[in-house]
Structure 1
């Protein structure tokens, strides 16, 4: 995913009201930008550190700039725009970058499915292959030592998606949970049991029933974000 023009660098002043952040530009101008991340952004915020944002040409936007990349307190880069995750995974799937899914030739986005009235991020189809349901989750929580965790807050919606994936496996389909890791310090992923123990227990349960769990790490810069590295997922019992 390339940025044309490249992202603009500034320095973070603060994030507030969930959807807003104040930054100082390279010309020392204070501006307010949109924060496209409704989560806690735990361990992503470092006031005074470099950040990068994009600019929209839309005349109707109150805040034309969108925060894209943060510098974390431990000096790594984190892609905080959760809306980018699906696009990054779509690029990975379309180019055949994930070998376990490379045989699928058809991709549909946002397909309604399941008893709990969900929408799957991607439905993959291929001749002679079982349908494959792919759910994407963005990971930016880094607890040190290369360990990335999901979720960063209690997530009932995330638990719902796990149940829906397990139900697809029970019907004879494939189901994949794919962690899109937009954090340059993360080298492995695990459920955040201390934050949402229910989610962690359910993830291990559905994985044992056949839901496949994958993770890919991103390379981040002002010019491009792309998924480049498969990462291990640790589902060891706690």
Structure 2
């Protein structure tokens, strides 16, 4: 398999099995050593089909100097025999290295690269490529795949993502360039769509942004316990579509999605 760019994990990952996901941002995992640990789940979405107790999971340790309470971060999970990246922060690191290596056509010519730049109203863009024309680049992580072989974003309502699209539309109208780059942390997706089923407002905003001149691109990533390998670029499909089959596919994944109440946080009134 050809690799455009390899980004190794900053620390060796530890393997185990998922016990459960609690309160959205906590995952309990039993490591291969037998130790049960709690890891930070960076992903705010429902993670459809990926919260299956007993599934293989990998975590990274937090640096010793960190004061963070949860000493691990959930990085990868196995879904239907395929390793999927679930850390939604990791793609920004990958894209930063992609840009620095100048391997993506259309994103090679810039004088300087700036991160987390404030712009528009209540917005920060992931990357600003400083050149003859400013180029705003927003990164969106995707890991949801349905039976049609396509990826879908988001996997739950995301007012924040919709706001980003509208802000990018404004900067394009003012004469700048703007790109939304979907990073798909699995290699088995042939194209990606805005999810009308999960967030019709985002899907409509994406179509409007595309018509206004915002560019949409996507790359697939092979996630392994050693690295995140950028494999190839795939199409982004903004056109509307029927969602009858998608609702059925979602229902099939529903038992292995979301999170539940943390049993350690039962209040006295609840017993």
TM range (shorter): over 0.9
Select the residue among 123, 131, 138 that pairs with 1:135.
Answer: 138
Distance 1:31 1:186 in 2: 32
2:108 is matched with which residue?
102
Structure possessing the higher relative contact order (Cα contacts under 8 Å, 6 or more residues apart): 2
Distance 2:165 2:71 in 1: 35
- Secondary structure class of the residue paired with 1:207: helix
- Larger mean CA deviation between 157-166 and 4-13 belongs to 4-13
Q: Aligned-pair RMSD on alpha carbons?
A: 1.4
Select the residue among 121, 145, 148 that pairs with 1:145.
Answer: 148
Select the residue among 17, 26, 38 that pairs with 1:20.
Answer: 26
1:173 is matched with which residue?
176
- Secondary structure class of the residue paired with 1:101: coil
* Change in CA separation of 1:47 and 1:184 when aligned onto 2, cut-off 3 Å: farther
Q: How many residues align?
A: 234
- Residue 236 of structure 1 deviates from its aligned partner by 2.1
- Secondary structure class of the residue paired with 1:177: strand
Select the residue among 193, 198, 201 that pairs with 1:198.
Answer: 201
CA contact (8 A) 2:19 2:28 kept: yes
Cα deviation 1:109-158 (Å, max 9, x = unaligned): 011111x22111100012xx311000111101111232100011111111
Cα deviation 1:176-218 (Å, max 9, x = unaligned): 0110111233221001001111111110111011000000111
- Residue 92 of structure 1 deviates from its aligned partner by 0.9
1:120 is matched with which residue?
125
CA contact (8 A) 1:137 1:179 kept: yes
- Secondary structure class of the residue paired with 1:154: coil
Select the residue among 212, 216, 225 that pairs with 1:213.
Answer: 216
2:4 is matched with which residue?
none
- Secondary structure class of the residue paired with 1:165: helix
- Secondary structure class of the residue paired with 2:106: helix
- Larger mean CA deviation between 132-141 and 19-28 belongs to 19-28
Q: Which has the larger radius of gyration?
A: 2
**Any stretches of 5+ residues in structure 1 without a counterpart?**
none
- Residue 41 of structure 1 deviates from its aligned partner by 1.3
TM norm structure 1: 0.93
Cα deviation 1:13-57 (Å, max 9, x = unaligned): 111111111111112222222211122112222221111111122
- Residue 6 of structure 1 deviates from its aligned partner by 2.2
- Secondary structure class of the residue paired with 1:36: coil
Higher helix proportion (structure 1 or 2): 2
CA contact (8 A) 1:44 1:140 kept: no
Matched, 1:49 2:52: no
Distance 2:239 2:10 in 1: 42
CA contact (8 A) 1:43 1:142 kept: no
Distance 1:217 1:105 in 2: 26
Distance 2:176 2:13 in 1: 40
CA contact (8 A) 1:147 1:186 kept: yes
Distance 1:105 1:45 in 2: 43
1:62 is matched with which residue?
69
